[in-house]
Structure 1
Amino acid sequence: MKILTVMDRKKTKINQVIQFISEKIKTYEILPGSKLPSLRVLAKQLNLSVSTVLEAYERMLADGQLEVRHGSGYFVKNTSYIAINHSTTFEHIESDPFWVAHQSLMATKECLTPSCGWLPLDWLPESHIKKSLKELSQSSSELLLSYSSVLGYTPLRKLLSKKSNDLGAFTHHDHILLTDSATQALDMICRVWLKAGDTVLVDDPCYFNFFSLMNLHGIHVISIPFTQHGPDVEQFLRAMKQSPKMYITSSGVHNPTGASINIGTAHKVLKIAEEHHMLIVEDDVYCDFERVPAPRYALLSNFEHVIQIGSFSKSLSASFRCGYIIAKPEHIAVLAKIKIASNFNNSQLNAVLVHHILKDVQYRRHLEAMQHRLSYAKTHTVQQLKLLGIEPWIIPKAGMFLWCKLPTHISAHVLAKQCRDDGLILVTGCVFSQSDNADQFIRFNVSHCLDQRVFDILKKNMDLFNSL
């Protein structure tokens, strides 16, 4: 047995003090900028000598955790406050949207990510991007270095307006506001139309970041069951008793199910929204994945009671961020003020680059090739999953997602935790849904399911359940 010397015991006690204070700082029991207990008070509290506490404080001071104000004492370094939700334990971390996003973004090349929300890098139009970047480098200094107009780069807005009009809408390019992402667009809309305590409807299941953003704004969320043809209309109508201000949905290529609304459901939802003066926000980030466009609330209503948002991060590149909002002129006018106040301008260079790529005929051919690849990958993934007893909730007409049900005796949460140890990162149903049976579902991205290791690791860990 090792016998501690007097010096060892002294170091151990100093570390105890440091750990004690660090934990309180970490959990925000002591906030940044707050004064620490005096040397004598803490020494008495911990039953230690004043010199031990002094040495601990001095070491934390040297490490940059504390600062000393002469005549006042020791204070926690006044860094930015970041609230931490401690309700999510390690055992339930697979259902935490923030952790899931972090895991997917930080995954190494060795990890398999069959549940992520984007295409593999080699599916994206890298050669077109490099070509456009080279050509843009010869552009005028005004185009490369200056701010854009308040609404954003006009040629791109004209292109988006033409695309919308080709689908049957009637929009002018001044009805379009460019942003740096679809997420920023939704955040701006929430700032205008919502305040803390308001009620918002979302689909069940829905894109998990809707929950995160509503939580950030202090918004009450009601989840409406999403059927294979759109939201459950009876449940939607019943929710009107709660006076919701907004309905946020992805109607074309729904995330995470891949389903699309039918025209009958869309008309019923639009009628309810109009009667109750509720705004519909339609997230259309996956529109380029469709060969034949499904109905859209925005097009059917010609943007009455509907705002549409989108971006190019899924089909083009996640590296240069560019999003947009299409809405009635009076809505765009208000949102433009929010844009100036919160972000002043969007990235002109990104918008110019996006426009340059979109107008190239080669990009249209790229999209067609991508849609064919997704169709093949979907067929392959469905066949492989069925061999494991995993059934798709629906076979989508377009997009990259499959919303799949596990055998009844298998927990998605537990399976994801087991597979993570084998380098396979799954996103479980509990991230997208608050329903009782959410733990029976997993979202799969077919473009990341062409590696046989995905199914081998799934089988290995599902067999563990079967052996019990």
Structure 2
Amino acid sequence: MFDFQPVRARNQGSTLVDQVVDVYAAAIQNRQLRPGMAVPSVREFARKYGVSTFTVASAYGRLVNQGWLTARPGAGYRVAPQGDAHAPSEPASWVPPRLNASWLLSDIFADHSIAIKSGGGWLPGEWLNEEGLHQALRHLGRVPALRIAGYGHPYGYAPLRDTVASGLGAHGLDVTLDQVVLTQGVTHGLDLVIRTLLRPGDTVLVEHPCYANLLPMLRLAGVRMVSVPRTADGLDCEALAQAAQTHRPRALFVNTVLQNPSGAVMSMSNAFRVLQLAEQQEFWVIEDDISRELVTTSAPMLAALDGARRVVYLGGFSKVISPSVRVGYIAAHRDLVRDIARTKMAVGLTSPEIMERVVHQVIREGRYRAHIARTRERLAQAHAVVAQHMDALGLTLWARPHAGLFLWARLPDSWACSANTLAEAALKDGIWLAPGSYFDPDEADIPWMRFNVAYSQAPQLWRFLEQVRQKKSA
């Protein structure tokens, strides 16, 4: 068919998914593969060339959406007819998606037509713990059906809750089983907390910049948002104190570690000051700590410092196991957890025990900690590469965490280009960038962008940005 030799060098610009897509596109253009010809299945290709099935499935999905391949149930993948209206020989047929909140919140997760997703919030498929997932799924296949046929416990699968409690204990947060409730990811957990603690008309404090998905949830809840500037050290505590005194907020929402989108880590002194203000002004602290496993240095956990009295702690597994494994958790005072469990049952009944069992098994198997260590290492390498490109182009970095998924970068004034305008132009080149307006409570077109370092090593991205720089400086 063709000779494919995957390149896994650390300084390799393209991912394995990119390499599979490129080799197929070249073979079809060169007529090595002709319309209607069958191509190897995902498993066949993975076995033959020594790559993961996640990599091949992602590449095949992209090839289908770009018009190179077709997929039919029971018939596998075949080379698409070149006269097809969606075939890549007619590039004008592809229309870039419109950059708006609707696409960000829904379509982006299904849109495989964008080749480079530097604005994404997840790890590449080939970075995920494939062997751990396969082993967990095989284990689940041996569980008698009657044991997993019911709704499950309202709080979630008890062995996983126990594992979560033990893990939090290692960070200094001592909680019992009845202080942990499982959710369908951290975003679902935030929704449950919002529904339980807040009422329309309440005021809450959010970070600026802020986790993008939190903002529409708060708008839907009818609450008023007041933003508090984020600094490289944590929250601007003078602004926090003033906002708390002026607006009497019900709650503060905060990312402690590797904040989304800035990548910054809160210092211990900042954490103590935030908790002190929360105690003085009597507001809840909702701590979204989804990236705790990816941090490489010691970092404060607000809930541990507070003893889970005023802090509601949220964590999950999408950043280290798989984004499709929608399992998260909330840890808090037992009375509040009981109320959250009631909310959970009222709006969606129990969370899927099957997925919770899968996560529990992945954590139990021996390679989980090694997988996290390897992911941290790969992210550190990606940070070094991406930061070097940014420095060369004159972008200003908010922080240099050397860990986690994100870098938050300011566009040079000399480019005279708004972040939204740049993102629109990038989409036409098959590049998704995340402009600052995604993370601004007022959706203002601020001159900042979030980059996912794991997806930002593609040469096409930096060629595009270099062309923008040259054009603006000409």
Query: How high is the TM-score relative to the length of structure 1?
Result: 0.77
Q: Report the equivalent of 2:194.
A: 190
Give, in whole Å, the separation in 2 of the partners of 1:350 and 1:447: 26
CA contact (8 A) 2:157 2:357 kept: yes
Q: Report the equivalent of 1:456.
A: 463
Give, in whole Å, the separation in 1 of the partners of 2:297 and 2:101: 31
Match of 1:382, as an amino acid?
A
Q: Deviations over 1:220-269 (max 9, x none)?
A: 00010000111100110011121100101111110001101111111111
Residues 1:213 and 1:342: Cα distance change in structure 2 (over 3 Å): same
TM superposition shift of 1:374: 0.3
Q: Report the equivalent of 2:156.
A: 152
Q: Report the equivalent of 1:125.
A: 129
Gaps of 5+ in 2: 1-96
Residues 1:293 and 1:95: Cα distance change in structure 2 (over 3 Å): farther
Matches within 5 A, 1:276-287: 276-287=281-292
SS in structure 1 at match of 2:401: coil
Give, in whole Å, the separation in 2 of the partners of 1:222 and 1:248: 11
Match of 1:297, as an amino acid?
L
Q: Report the equivalent of 2:429.
A: 422
CA contact (8 A) 1:143 1:349 kept: no
Which of 333, 338, 341 is matched with 2:346 structurally? 341
TM superposition shift of 1:193: 1.1
SS in structure 2 at match of 1:223: strand
1:106 aligns with 2:110: yes
Q: Report the equivalent of 2:139.
A: 135
Q: Deviations over 1:163-211 (max 9, x none)?
A: 1111112111221001112111111111111111110100000111111
Q: Report the equivalent of 1:246.
A: 251
Gaps of 5+ in 1: 1-92
Match of 1:315, as an amino acid?
V
Output the aligned Cα RMSD.
1.8
TM superposition shift of 1:96: 4.0
The structure with more radius of gyration: 1
Matches within 5 A, 1:186-225: 186-225=190-229
Which of 172, 176, 192 is matched with 1:172 structurally? 176
Give, in whole Å, the separation in 1 of the partners of 2:175 and 2:299: 19
SS in structure 2 at match of 1:225: strand
SS in structure 1 at match of 2:377: helix
TM superposition shift of 1:326: 0.3
Give, in whole Å, the separation in 1 of the partners of 2:114 and 2:187: 29
SS in structure 1 at match of 2:314: strand
Residues 1:103 and 1:388: Cα distance change in structure 2 (over 3 Å): farther
Q: Deviations over 1:27-84 (max 9, x none)?
A: xxxxxxxxxxxxxxxxxxxxxxxxxxxxxxxxxxxxxxxxxxxxxxxxxxxxxxxxxx
CA contact (8 A) 1:97 1:209 kept: no
CA contact (8 A) 1:97 1:212 kept: no
Give, in whole Å, the separation in 2 of the partners of 1:323 and 1:314: 11
TM superposition shift of 1:94: 7.5
Query: How high is the TM-score relative to the length of structure 2?
Result: 0.76
1:403 aligns with 2:408: yes
Give, in whole Å, the separation in 2 of the partners of 1:261 and 1:123: 27
TM superposition shift of 1:438: 5.4
Which of 380, 387, 400 is matched with 1:382 structurally? 387
CA contact (8 A) 1:104 1:425 kept: no
Percent identity reads 29
Q: Report the equivalent of 1:70.
A: none
Match of 2:302, as an amino acid?
Y
CA contact (8 A) 2:210 2:261 kept: yes
TM superposition shift of 1:459: 1.4
Q: Deviations over 1:110-143 (max 9, x none)?
A: 5211111001000001121012101210112233
Give, in whole Å, the separation in 1 of the partners of 2:326 and 2:298: 24
Match of 1:225, as an amino acid?
P
Q: Deviations over 1:259-302 (max 9, x none)?
A: 01111111111111111210000111111112334101111101
Give, in whole Å, the separation in 2 of the partners of 1:110 and 1:419: 10
Q: Report the equivalent of 2:45.
A: none
CA contact (8 A) 2:379 2:402 kept: no
TM superposition shift of 1:144: 2.8
TM superposition shift of 1:344: 1.4
Which of 215, 231, 234 is matched with 1:230 structurally? 234
SS in structure 1 at match of 2:432: coil
Give, in whole Å, the separation in 1 of the partners of 2:325 and 2:229: 34
SS in structure 2 at match of 1:439: coil
CA contact (8 A) 1:249 1:283 kept: yes
Mean alpha-carbon deviation: is it higher for 347-356 or for 129-138? 129-138
1:259 aligns with 2:273: no
Match of 2:458, as an amino acid?
D
TM superposition shift of 1:95: 7.2
